[in-house]
Amino acid sequence: MMKITLVGCGLVGGSWSLVFARAGFDVTLYDPSQASLDVALSFAKSSAPGLAKQDLLGGQSPEAVLARLKTTTNLADAVRDADHIQESAPERLPIKQALYKEMAPLAKADAVIASSTSGLPASSFTADIPGRERCVVAHPINPPHLIPLVEIVPAPWTAPSVIERTDALMRQIGQVPIRLGREINGFIVNRLQGAMLGEAFRLVEDGICSAADLDAAVTDGLGLRWFFIGPFETIDLNAQGGVPDYCQKLGPMYYDVAKEQADPRRWSDALVAKVEAERRAKTPTDQLDARKAWRDRCLAALVRAKRAVLKENA
Ligand SMILES: NC(=O)c1ccc[n+]([C@@H]2O[C@H](COP(=O)([O-])OP(=O)(O)OC[C@H]3O[C@@H](n4cnc5c(N)ncnc54)[C@H](O)[C@@H]3O)[C@@H](O)[C@H]2O)c1
């Protein structure tokens, strides 16, 4: 059985622990902070019963899954025997650079070292380490124990076998890997999200709509479609003649809109304060943790429902 080590166990590392453990792997959680490890373990403990209730532990008991987790604050002990290292340290380049320099000689020569980074290219923190061909980005969408997509992004020197092994492992643990041909800022998901956020801030800044109505446009509009089909399949199904028909009818309109959107704007302090004020009126700061837990419960129920609906309609 492969040995899995998680390096950095904050928000994302804690969620990864559930993904690997429910897939049957023994998982070592490493973090320099004992407090972070305690929080990660208590997150896993408090989440597991809800996952079991939604049948998202593969029929296993929460206790059986949680028994596969062990923690350490010693990096050498954590990575020495690992076959797959999933790094989720803070998104700060100097931290990742120092960590990879320290970790690379401690890990096995044939281990895969995958980074959860949201946007840093692996080439920016693995260039000067021994065995850099072992390194790749495997970027999850938070929280990975509920959202399966993982973006696999190679550095120019990542070995093809490392990409294949990472892809295979992600599938084995129930995630959905997609592969990028080369490094690009923001990868795919954050480029898409960034395009939408840029437009969302523009619409609020120009007084076209409130932040709440903008959110409704997604939760009660686009988001419902996107739960089952992506933007290309959407346009394929929204015109009698499929993609070419849609593009012929609506391409000019989208081109005109794109010209209006072509000039990116910085998100000014005043604009950010306006959206923040609207958000805090709806969800006060002291209710944010409860709201995150609510989001995760809703996501778990939806993931279960999606499986059932797709099965019924196969
Ligand atoms: N939060 C998200 O939505 C999200 C989504 C996808 C990917 N990511 C990526 O995952 C990574 C972790 O993000 P997060 O939100 O979990 O951050 P976080 O701040 O919640 O957790 C980071 C953890 O790393 C630990 N740490 C500090 N220095 C370290 C070191 N030298 N070595 C190992 N661990 C160290 C911290 O103690 C902390 O527990 C980042 O690269 C981030 O871009 C985040």
Looking at residue 152, its pLDDT comes to 98
Answer whether 140 contacts ligand 1 (Cβ < 6 A).
yes
Which CATH code, of 3.40.50.1000, 1.10.3720.10, 1.10.1040.10, 3.20.190.10, is assigned to 189-282?
1.10.1040.10
In this structure, what token pair is assigned to residue 3? 């040995």
pLDDT band at 108 (very low <50, low <70, confident <90, very high): very high
**Closest-CA residue to 40 (of 3, 83, 73):** 73
Is the C-beta atom of 114 inside 6 A of ligand 1?
Answer: no
pLDDT for the residue 93: 98
Measured distance CA(143)–CA(150) in Å, rounded: 11
Residue whose Cα lies nearest atom 38 of ligand 1: it is: 10
Q: Residue 10 has what pLDDT?
A: 98
In angstroms, what is the span from residue 289 Cα to ligand 1's centroid?
18
Our answer on whether the CB atom of 143 is closer than 6 Å to any ligand 1 atom is no
* Cα–Cα distance, 85 to 223 (Å, whole number): 33
- The pLDDT-based confidence of 272 (bands split at 50, 70, 90) is very high
Ligand 1 in contact with 83 (CB < 6 A)? no
Residue 37 alpha carbon, nearest atom of ligand 1: 39
Atom of ligand 1 nearest to the CA of 12: 16
Asked whether 248 lines ligand 1 (CB < 6 A), one says: no
Q: How far is it, in rounded angstroms, from Cα 176 to Cα 172?
A: 9
**All residues at 6 or more sequence positions from 282 whose CB lies less than 8 Å from its CB, including other chains:** 212
The verdict on the CB of residue 88 being under 6 Å from ligand 1 is yes
d(C-alpha 14, C-alpha 82), whole Å: 18
Indicate whether residue 31 lines ligand 1 (CB < 6 A).
yes
Q: Which residue has the tokens 């206790």?
A: 63
The reply to whether CATH 3.40.50.720 applies to domain 4-179 is: yes
Q: Does the fold of domain 189-282 match that of domain 4-179?
A: no
Q: What is the pLDDT of residues 180-227, one digit of tens each?
A: 999 999 999 999 999 999 999 999 999 999 999 999 999 999 999 999
Give the CA distances from residue 72 to residues 8, 50, 141, 221, 273, in Å, rounded to whole numbers and listed in that order.
11, 26, 25, 45, 41
Digit-coded pLDDT (tens) for 164-175 = 999 999 999 999
144 lines ligand 1 (CB under 6 A): no
pLDDT band at 22 (very low <50, low <70, confident <90, very high): very high
Domain boundaries, the chain: 4-179, 189-282
* pLDDT bracket for residue 243 (50, 70, 90): very high
HEC readout, 255-267: HHHHHHHCCCCCC
pLDDT digits (tens, 9 = 90+) for 219-232: 999 999 999 999 99
Structure tokens at 151: 């973006």
Share of the chain above pLDDT 70, in %: 100
**What value does the mean pLDDT take over residues 35-46?**
97
Q: How far is the CA of 312 from the centre of ligand 1 (A)?
A: 38
The residues with which 30 forms a beta bridge, in sequence order, are 7, 72
pTM of the model: 0.95
Once rounded to an integer, what is the mean pLDDT over residues 290-307?
94
pLDDT at 59: 95
Average pLDDT over residues 127-142: 97
Residue type, 106: L
State the average pLDDT for the chain: 97
Q: From CA 20, how far away is CA 68, in angstroms rounded?
A: 9
